[in-house]
Structure 1
Amino acid sequence: MNRDIAVLGAGMHPWGKWGRNFVEYGLAAARQALADAGLAWGDVQYVAGADTIRNGYPGFIAGATFAQALGWSGARVSSCYAACASGAQAIDHARARILAGLCDVALVVGADAAPKGFFKPVGGDRPDDPDWLRFRLLGATNPIYFALAARRRMAVHGATTDDFAAVKVKNARHGLANPNARYRKEVTAEDVRASAVVADPLRLLDICATSDGGAALVLTSMEFARAHGIADPVRIAALSTVTPTFPKTVLDLPDFATDSAMTVAPPERPFRSAIAHAAYEEAGIGPGDLSLAEVYDLSTALELDWYEDIGLCEPGGAEALLRSGATAIGGRVPVNPSGGLASFGEAIPAQAIAQVCELAWQLRGRAEGRQVEGARTGIAVNQGLFGHGSAVIAVR
């Protein structure tokens, strides 16, 4: 069965701290995506919204919220929340509906107006909520476990803080030419080393910010695309949202007390690697076929882990791959040519959608100033808390 769907439109509202309602960001992105596709809002049969849980009730019903903002049209809607994988889950909903033959044109939208500083648990005191527990009992904000993962990488693979700084330098350079990036400034290794320590060994410039932003995609059946004169569109060839296998080995603090990995041999493939490899299997390709990758660089150290998780190198080889220049634009497989979270910050429900927007622009040859030469295949990956993660493979 051919599971390809077409990406006809991509749109974004620039990331930043704009002080406006998240709906404005999503609306702007949706209108851009529709214009990019050459379609009108009335052509959309299905809206998949990626939820934001920090923006009141409208954020929990994002599909209907964006449909209302665009103007009630009778389109069917869905809304979903999957932490950092929310956008990819929304893409998955739309893809499934198209492949089932229930619609030809779907709009996927995610947007956020993020609070400044560390994310906090939502909903007040909730002692049954792992997020609440890790904050209240362990004092473990997100940068704490980013730092624990970084320390592990240093101990196991010999990574240095200079390697982490080099990731930031690379991504900042990539983001210079991206009009949607929040931070468009050259960064040096000295700048990283001079920034404040947030959670040792990570400094302020090693960790992504929280941002406002929006992203949207217009997805269609291949038949619809061809009927409208687009014979060779960018296609989503695979989408993986697999969960961990027993024993769970996700490096998330809330799981430490119940993780059976302490007493049972780990699974053959760690969780993040399993996410990517399920997508490879579905698309019928391997890491060697990639032209570029968009990975979820919540911290500079985490980007190095992703190199190995998506198969760009063997475990322990990420530092050498980075130092070789292979993951910079002009290298063998550029990683985060968009600038990544290092240049954007994190707008949770929009992020996975934004990654696919970048894949679409790259594969069309429209990523001006940051174009990966001859790009034909790209992967976008991320991981949310508690077993949520995603990998999307786009081809042309």
Structure 2
Amino acid sequence: MALAAYGGDGMTRDVAVLGAGMHPWGKWGRSFVEYGTAAARAALADARVDWRDVSSIVGADTVRGGYPGYVAGATFAKALGWQGARVTSVYAACASGAQAVGAARAQILAGLADVVLVVGADAAPKGFFRPAGGNRADDPDWLRFRVLGATNPTYFGLYARRRIAVHGDTLEDFAQVKVKNAASGALNPYARYRKRVTAEEVAASAVVADPLRLLDICATSDGGAALVLSSMDFARRHGVAEPVRIRAVSTVTPRYPTTVLDLPDIATDSAVAVEPAAEAFRASIARAAYEEAGIGPEDLSLAEVYDLSTALELQWYEDLGLCAEGEAAKLLREGVTAPGGRIPVNASGGLASFGEAVPAQAIAQVCELTWQLRGEAGDRQVAGARVGISANQGLFGHGSAVVAVR
């Protein structure tokens, strides 16, 4: 396995993960600030770093927290106690957490900070996420909601129908994704849903957006996650000889003309004369991460992906290059992505077990990679884990992947 720790200029591209911390997911009815602050303190304790020694804090924003949510970095800095740290706030929908990690990493590699705290937290409403920010007639996601009336579960259902029609996936395949992830979530103390389910229970749950049932779709949740990142020099001075390292952070945009993310096969006048993009947006997210890290899918020990629905997890198998197009269900049926399989996916339990707390989710994925690569994941530990990838896709061209190695 050839892992590229250095760029063309000979400088290291790695940053160390010294600490990871989370606030349990659920519906707690409290402020996102409380969740993020608890996660931050847990990450600092895990890193054995005092808050006063943190030189920068990067907050992943939430649009549901009012003004404090729009300036999350400053909000968490205030909650932890102002001590003069550099502060940054990042918003990128579901990729907010990964872009916060990317911003922290850039500061460290640029020599602007030695130790950076990354925090994301959310207090989500019940039901569907509504579009935020007012009318946006040029936004395909806003149009999908307002013109078509297609909420996120409807979009998930359309993609599930496409997999059934094009690849022959079945409702039983979708149910087995939930069964797999619920079994892992039952072992995770931070998960909201810690109960195993059967395929029969998935099939018996209410239809939300045909063919998807209630147990096929992730909930909206409260939660918080945090990471303490540092330069490799600081890690060594801190007595950590072999830390988990962030090797790549990918936050790429789609390639024209495939720019309408939720309805990718509908042509427009401006698109019909242009050759389609060579790969799907989700696949381009993964490819950019692999190229930066100097690895391929064959090097992975595990993956944490955004299973907004059971069918979308199967799509990620293909977009991450774990199998060829149309072979995701076969991979699932053979147990390759299950605990003990060749490439376990969502050993944390995934969104199926957590629900979605948007700015915290991508950070939580890296927390899980960190614990797995350290060998600290307890009963859900992936044996011999050395390389992991996280991946998600959000609205308006936001998506991300993070590669972590040990």
With the shorter chain as reference, the TM-score category is: over 0.9
User: Residue 145 of structure 2: which of 117, 123, 135 is its match?
Assistant: 135
Note if contact 1:133-1:254 (Cα within 8 Å) is conserved in structure 2: no
**Once the 2 structures are TM-superposed, how far is the Cα of residue 129 of structure 1 from its aligned partner?**
5.1
CA distance in 1, matches of 2:192, 2:111: 39
Which 5+ residue runs of structure 2 have no aligned equivalent?
Answer: 1-10
**Once the 2 structures are TM-superposed, how far is the Cα of residue 80 of structure 1 from its aligned partner?**
1.1
**Once the 2 structures are TM-superposed, how far is the Cα of residue 127 of structure 1 from its aligned partner?**
4.7
CA distance in 2, matches of 1:274, 1:358: 23
* Per-residue Cα deviation, 1:153-210 (whole angstroms, up to 9, x for no partner): 1111111111100100000001111000000001111111001111011110000000
Identify the residue that residue 388 of structure 2 maps to in structure 1: 378
Seq. identity, %: 77
Identify the residue that residue 180 of structure 2 maps to in structure 1: 170
DSSP-derived class of the 1:84 partner = helix
User: Residue 270 of structure 1: which of 280, 290, 296 is its match?
Assistant: 280
Note if contact 1:249-1:270 (Cα within 8 Å) is conserved in structure 2: no
Identify the residue that residue 4 of structure 2 maps to in structure 1: none
User: What RMSD, in angstroms, separates the aligned Cα atoms of the two structures?
Assistant: 1.5
CA distance in 1, matches of 2:386, 2:156: 32
**Letter aligned with residue 54 of structure 1:** R
Which 5+ residue runs of structure 1 have no aligned equivalent?
Answer: none
Identify the residue that residue 364 of structure 1 maps to in structure 2: 374
User: Residue 206 of structure 1: which of 216, 227, 232 is its match?
Assistant: 216
**Once the 2 structures are TM-superposed, how far is the Cα of residue 368 of structure 1 from its aligned partner?**
0.8
Length-normalised TM-score, structure 2: 0.95
**In the TM superposition, what are the counterparts of 1:147-226 in structure 2 within 5 Å?**
147-226=157-236
**Letter aligned with residue 168 of structure 2:** G
253-262 vs 223-232, greater mean Cα deviation: 253-262
CA distance in 2, matches of 1:245, 1:79: 27
CA distance in 2, matches of 1:261, 1:207: 32
DSSP-derived class of the 2:88 partner = strand
250-259 vs 359-368, greater mean Cα deviation: 250-259
CA distance in 2, matches of 1:71, 1:47: 12
CA distance in 2, matches of 1:254, 1:121: 20
**In the TM superposition, what are the counterparts of 1:1-396 in structure 2 within 5 Å?**
1-124=11-134, 127=137, 130-248=140-258, 251-253=261-263, 256=266, 258=268, 263-396=273-406
CA distance in 2, matches of 1:153, 1:370: 29
* Per-residue Cα deviation, 1:327-382 (whole angstroms, up to 9, x for no partner): 01100000000000000000000000000000000000000110000000000000
Note if contact 2:141-2:395 (Cα within 8 Å) is conserved in structure 1: no
Note if contact 2:391-2:402 (Cα within 8 Å) is conserved in structure 1: yes
How many residues are paired up?
396
CA distance in 2, matches of 1:147, 1:60: 31
Length-normalised TM-score, structure 1: 0.97
**Once the 2 structures are TM-superposed, how far is the Cα of residue 2 of structure 1 from its aligned partner?**
1.6
Note if contact 1:248-1:260 (Cα within 8 Å) is conserved in structure 2: no
Identify the residue that residue 7 of structure 2 maps to in structure 1: none
**Once the 2 structures are TM-superposed, how far is the Cα of residue 133 of structure 1 from its aligned partner?**
2.9
**Once the 2 structures are TM-superposed, how far is the Cα of residue 253 of structure 1 from its aligned partner?**
4.2
CA distance 1:332–1:262, change in 2 (3 Å)? farther
